[in-house]
Amino acid sequence: MFRTALISMFLTSTALADTWIVDDDGKADFDNIQAAVDAASDGDEIVVLPGTYTTSTADEVVDMLGKEVWLHSSAGAGVTIIDGEQTRRGILCNNNETVNTIIEGFTITNCYSNSGGGMYNYYSNPTLTNCTFTNNTTDGKGGGMYNYLFSLPALTNCTSTDNTANYGGGMLNDDSSPTLTDCTFTANTPNDDGAMRNV
């Protein structure tokens, strides 16, 4: 009886999960990633079709809002771009995101912020797979990614290249310990200290 109850609970939670489709051409549930994240609930899947995604209304293109969702491209990082237009950050995780906040298959590029040009993690532990951080910039810390205050992101098959910062061109870890598996860091430029810096 207990096993039956567990199976019933699992099927119910699975049945309640939604899949949201994002297409920058507008022929889907949403034409921008943030709107899909806003609508999603924990356990949902957000599928992003090939295209270039940005915003004009926020300090970052995507704020994950602490949601445990699977945000992924349908066709890979080569054709699915998060573009900060040199005026905003790419991705923000500052709401206690867990390993169940999964971001997969994006190129994060042309992003700018005062810290964490490509991505900023604050006390958050998102999972990133098959993502590329390139040509992101900050005047402060972490051109590609800034991990702050006990953040433990897990990156697998990710690339960081041609990012620029005063401290930690590719990545800066401040009281944080990311897990990097099969990741590549090349040609990241620190103005003062370290292509990757741990403090």
Distance separating alpha carbons of residues 112 and 89, to the nearest angstrom: 5
How big is the CA angle at 46 (ends 44 and 50), to the nearest 5 degrees? 170
Distance separating alpha carbons of residues 113 and 59, to the nearest angstrom: 8
* pTM of the full structure: 0.91
Best CA proximity match to 30, nearest among 66, 62, 78: 62
Distance separating alpha carbons of residues 81 and 18, to the nearest angstrom: 23
User: What does the pLDDT read at residue 68?
Assistant: 98
Two tokens, residue 174: 């401040």
Q: Which amino acid is at 172?
A: L
User: What does the pLDDT read at residue 15?
Assistant: 57
Within 10 angstroms of residue 38's Cβ, the number of other Cβ atoms is 12
User: What does the pLDDT read at residue 1?
Assistant: 45
How big is the CA angle at 72 (ends 15 and 112), to the nearest 5 degrees? 135
User: What does the pLDDT read at residue 46?
Assistant: 98
Q: How confident is the prediction along the chain (199 residues), in pLDDT tens digits per residue?
A: 434 444 444 444 455 899 999 999 988 999 999 999 999 999 999 999 999 999 999 999 999 999 999 999 999 999 999 999 999 999 999 999 999 999 999 999 999 999 999 999 999 999 999 999 999 999 999 999 999 999 999 999 999 999 999 999 999 999 999 999 999 999 999 887 778 889 8
User: What does the pLDDT read at residue 147?
Assistant: 98
Task: List residues bridging with 104 in a β-sheet.
Answer: 72, 129
Burial class (CB in 10 A: 0-12, 13-18, 19+), 5: exposed
User: What does the pLDDT read at residue 10?
Assistant: 45
DSSP 2: H
